[in-house]
Structure 1
Amino acid sequence: MLKKYSIDKMTSPEKKIRNKTRALKHLLKDEKIRELLVSLSEELSLEFTLADQKGSILWGKNVNLSDKSELIHKNIHFATLHSDKSSGKIIADLIISLVNKELEKKNIGNEVLGLYREINMIYDFSEKLSEIIEEKSIAEMALTEASQILDTTHGLFLLHNPETDSVDILSSFGKDPNREKNIQEQNHRLKDLIKKGTSSIVSKDIIQTNPALKYLQAMMYAPLKVKNKTLGMVILGHDQEKEYRAADLKLLTTIASQSAVAIESAHLYQKGLKEAKEREDAIKRIHNVSQKFVPTEFIKSLGKNRLTEVTLGDLTEKEVTVMFVDIREFTSISENLSPKDNFLFINAFNKRMGPIIRKNNGFIMQYLGDGFMALFPNGSQDALRASVEMHKSLEDYNKIRKQKDRAPVKVGIGMQNGNLIMGITGDVERLDAAIISDTVNTASRIEGLSKHFSTSILMTEKCLKNLSNPEEFVFRYLGPVQVIGKQKPIKLYECINGDQNSLFEHKSKTLKTFDEGMKLYFNREFAMAAVTFQKVFKQNKKDLTAKLFLNRAAHLITEEIDEDWKGVQSMTKK
């Protein structure tokens, strides 16, 4: 929980005098200042004494000197200089100037502290909001944080419901038994304020003339605004006389802005759930239809020429390379599409990718809605060539999509090489083509890890060793991972040939530096590894793989690691 604080720039006259006197005393303790005053008094042949407003002597001894100069700063008299000559005014002016500088330094320090607190508040609040996806909980947290940061006894978190065109209470605190009734009566006015989308401190006259605000003596509000859309407003008030200031309104506006973003994200999340259900239904229909067809290549692998020749129990064991392809950010691409348009989009994607798979001696075993699984009986060389060609094809496809103002399509690819059983399973009334192998599960995990490592093509060491012509491609070693369901770590390699030209050139150019970073990392030289990965990432901020290892190395600098640490990263998600 954030500590409660308030930056109060309005001080009483007594406090202002006390601050200026404190600044003067602080100056008089400075050896250089003291030497300056002594030198100046000797130069002017002047005896002087400094006394605070209460008459306590701060410098010198004799207050019965003939001349007197009041030390005044911003109309505040905080000390008096007594001297035996009128030239004492020179020293008085000097001291006033020095006190002014000292106070300016203090004010700057206070402003910096206040800014730090605001930044800390914004960061902590944002972190908490990022974990919430339900709008009522967001409202409750926003008011809780506001009550901890600002001096307030009442709070309202209001949201405009466009379906009913009404302003509803999401959360509130403070005494007001007629709150619901007041909100209903004030609905029209509140909608106007929300539509206006501005922050304001409400004047005392307005509060006193509005019966709905009879519990309050002070009030301010800020809009829940996201870009050019206002979702609602947050209102804070106090049942005692209080003067809210610009700094208070600024903090409330910040809380409201952060809350608005979280509310909008919650709306999008709920919308995404609904649309995901619609897409899932559409994809299920696609999948149900695709199950009626069995790839010709699969039939031939069983030694058959036609589907009608297969029987229940037919099987064969083969060493193949399994590839999983996933459309990245599928939700973002399809969120504005109808189920029919989603269907057309998926078909358009598959029509482009399918021929590339077949061209490289592979076949698509199963469509997965937002991706597919393909098999390459001749091994990794064909699979990797197909992977690179698919990425290049998408670059051309995205140029067309850009002309139509559509989001670009990106894919992630993961692959593994190994043995699997292909056969016909089911019962006498219902047959299905099936593959059974740990190789398939591992390939699926690798595709999932391509998101974690931010790679376009990710493969295992077994795939690398299976390549007939590895020099055709460029790789970066990413180390071992422990995936769910596997006893032994799997060594992973990134193939960079599928990246866009600028990113490929960057990774090729920094390949030796990246490899050196990996060596330092696995040699537990984390500080040097972080520096090395920083060099790579600094040259191209799109190299998120380098950023991942930079953050990982930086994290391990201060961590205690086991003596048998080998850099194996355990993955807790599939």
Structure 2
Amino acid sequence: MTRHTDSKYYLKALKNILKKSHSSEQVITAIAAKLRLKFAVIGFDDKLIHGTPLDSFQSFPLNLDEITYGTLLASGEDGNLLANMIMVFVEKEIEKKKIGNEVLGLYREINMIYDFSERISEKIDAKSIAEMALGEASQIINSTHGLFLIYEPEKNKVVELASFGQNPDKEENIDKLNFLLKELISRGTSAIVPSEKIENNPALNHLRTIMYSPLKVKHRTLGMVILGHNEQNEFTAAELKLLTTISLQSAGALETAYLYQKGLQESKEREEAIRSIHEVSQKFVPHEFIKFLGKDKLTEVSLGDLVEKEVTVLFADIRDFTTISEFLTPEDNFLFINSFNKRMGPIVRENGGFIMQYLGDGFMALFPDGSQAAVRASVEMQASLRLYNEERSTKNSFAVKLGIGMQNGNLIMGITGDIERLDAAIISDTVNTASRIEGLSKHYGSSILLTDNCKNNLTNPEEFDFRYLGPVQVKGKQKPIDIYECINGDNAALLKHKLQTLSTFEEGMNLYFNREFAMAAVTFQQIVKKENTDSAAKLFLNRSAHMITQEIDEDWRGIASISSK
């Protein structure tokens, strides 16, 4: 404070003790009465503060720290004693004010620290913590510049997280001072920098005063906080203490943030690992299978979990694979199967099905939505196979043929095995029947074969074209099964032929089951003459011709008995 400011400050204290409500005024008045003194007090500004002006008086100066802030006018020599007493009261009043201000300042500091600690604990990233710390420091400490620096051990470098104040060469200056900054951080102490050290350092020529405090946590220092002023405004020990408190709070928040981020990263890595495992395991055990069991993840299933579900089971098989594989190396065989499967699998999934099991030269798929999706997928697979064969023909590779058979019905899906080895399994006669029907597709020369259960399950049968192939007695079954050929899986020329002869084929089948074998043979002969590759027509032509020479039992119903798969 200036001398004038000090005089006003002291004058204010003088006025305060001479108020009639103040106990000191009562003491002064009582002593003056004992000394039989009349007195008055005027301020350094010559204004009357207390008492009444006297005609004759002696003046006694009232001063503190060599600064006169008033005068006592008394009627006798004992006025000197009264003046000394007034000055003691003023000095005590000022001390009381200082203590009050210090207590208030301490209360504000504690409040600030508590509030800052609460707010900074909510931050979970280093940059936000740095910005809040500098913002708080700049509000309570008179400064024009601030830096929040972090030491990065991996780079062996001190870098900025936040700053305030104009400093166009900031990054360059930080680089120049990096060695010094690392040394100060390693020391882990707070300090006010002497002015001569600032003046002798070109990187600090934009500042006149500097202080710094470490970001210390436990037994290590994370970085430091620096405050500066571009004028000769010396920092105080109290301000350094405040900065140290802010730095310690910030360091704790930084450590928590780093631990949080580390934990978050580890959690993400664990989640990623689990997700990867889940994705991989899902390729071995279809996710749809897990969902049918009422689970979300493979890790949730347990031995004995099961569910009953109505589905369409589809078997697909590469024709004559054994013969094909004889001309391929084991590696080429493996590549061939993979090339085939990667074309068929997506078609199954796109139609709402999933591959339950790969069988080397084929696969078993399940269609929860029923036969419509299964037949549609079958037609698309045959179309995709034709494109695949076109690609193979350009490389002089053999053409691949695919037989598909399906059945619709209930099955049990569940987890079987033992406590050490679990497996996803399905148990059902539906599966066995579907496998047999796929085998029959080879016997009838059909690309797609299905049972009457499948055909009856179709939601939109008009989408496809079928030929009835009669009842069959498959191996392991007591009752015969009516089967149908879906001709939409054939190539364009064969499909056109079958569509054109659809009614003729139906007529031939009626003649055959009515035991009019000669007429049936003539009818099927008409079809075969038009297209020699119509395997089913050729098969029934031979059957009709054979039956002409046979004795027929009365209970004959035309059931074909197929003993092989």
Structure-1-length-normalised TM-score: 0.49
Structure-2-length-normalised TM-score: 0.50
Greater Rg over alpha carbons, structure: 2
